[in-house]
Amino acid sequence: MEPRVNLFENKVTASYVKRLTTAGKVAEGSGLPAATYELVKIRASQINGCAMCLDMHTKDALHAGETSLRINLIAAWREATVFTEAERAALELTEAGTRLADGGGVSEDTWQRVRKHYDEDQIGGLLVAIATINAWNRLNAIAHTPAGNYEPGMF
């Protein structure tokens, strides 16, 4: 598959990608556990059907020590026993925040579960992580960025 737009060669998208990359680093400094950050990126990418982001974040997660069992079960996190309650709250928020157009929004119950497990900085990190990965998903899906060739640390 050929991309519709090469996000790194088009001067406008390349400028945006540079800034989006910088924006994503905010979540890394929030105290949000690295494993949770990867789970959030993978789950949003599954929902949005972003092949490039799934390629990148599943490989990055494996490279960082995440198990293939947990990665394989992210889409079915509600029924899987391999996620902590904190991770479940983050995945629930990710789904609600990614599916805003479906009309549900983020319920008070979901928000309270998140507040139970994360401090203010970590919640900020979750919000930034969810917003940023959704922007990446849309950019890559619209551009038809091909997947399969990503190597951990490539970007």
Q: Considering the domain boundaries, does residue 7 fall inside one?
A: no
Q: Which domain holds residue 135?
A: 28-143
pLDDT class for 2, splitting at 50, 70, 90?
Answer: confident
Q: Considering the domain boundaries, does residue 87 fall inside one?
A: yes
Q: Considering the domain boundaries, does residue 15 fall inside one?
A: no
pLDDT digits (tens, 9 = 90+) for 39-90: 999 999 999 999 999 999 999 999 999 999 999 999 999 999 999 999 999 9
Secondary structure (DSSP) of 45-71: HHHHT-HHHHHHHHHHHHHTT--HHHH
For residue 155, what pLDDT is reported?
Answer: 79
For residue 75, what pLDDT is reported?
Answer: 97
pLDDT class for 104, splitting at 50, 70, 90?
Answer: confident
Q: Considering the domain boundaries, does residue 108 fall inside one?
A: yes
- Split into its structural domains, the chain has a count of 1
Q: Considering the domain boundaries, does residue 21 fall inside one?
A: no
Q: Considering the domain boundaries, does residue 62 fall inside one?
A: yes
pLDDT digits (tens, 9 = 90+) for 122-135: 999 999 999 999 99
Mean pLDDT of the region 29-38: 95
State the CATH number of the domain containing residue 60: 1.20.1290.10
To the nearest whole percent, how much of the chain has pLDDT over 90? 90
How many C-alpha atoms does 129 have within 13 Å on its Cβ side?
31
Q: Considering the domain boundaries, does residue 86 fall inside one?
A: yes
- In the DSSP assignment, the letter for residue 29 is T
